[in-house]
Amino acid sequence: MSEPHHYEVPTEQLSLSGPVSRPEATRLPIRGDLAHVALAHRYLVAHYVVPQVRVLASDAALLRSPRADGEPVAEWTAGTEVEVLDCAGAWAWACLGPDGPTGYLPLAALQK
């Protein structure tokens, strides 16, 4: 595993000052239930995640949904550092950083 990237965890109360446009699902690491901690000052969600940095063991397609036949968002090569935000079943919800892109990778594509 790689050294973790450093992200500041907000210590002040978070709030929104007005309407916020929801980004496209694969653009930024934000879902209805959680978001990358670096987005805490821009988006209000129930939970913020400090990502776990992992390295791809093999080339992998970043997918829009956690399904083998999901629509590809990007193609990443072996050795790429990714930030894993959530794992469920055989899938990791991951990004390259707080500016995206974001999507799903098979857990088997990550180094142990």
Kindly indicate the confidence band of residue 1, based on its pLDDT and cuts at 50, 70 and 90: very low
Pairing of strands 81-88, 47-49: unpaired
The CATH label, of 3.40.630.70, 3.40.50.300, 2.30.30.40, 2.60.120.10, for the domain at 34-109 is: 2.30.30.40
Pairing of strands 34-36, 47-49: parallel
Q: What is the mean pLDDT of residues 89-106?
A: 96
Q: Is the pLDDT of residue 70 over 60?
A: yes
* Residues 40 and 52: beta-carbon distance below 8 Å: no
Domain boundaries, the chain: 34-109
What's this model's pTM, rounded to 2 decimal places? 0.83
pLDDT digits (tens, 9 = 90+) for 12-68: 776 666 666 777 778 999 998 999 999 988 888 889 999 999 999 999 999 999 999
Q: What pLDDT is stored for residue 90 in this prediction?
A: 97
Q: Where is pLDDT greater, at 94 or 7?
A: 94
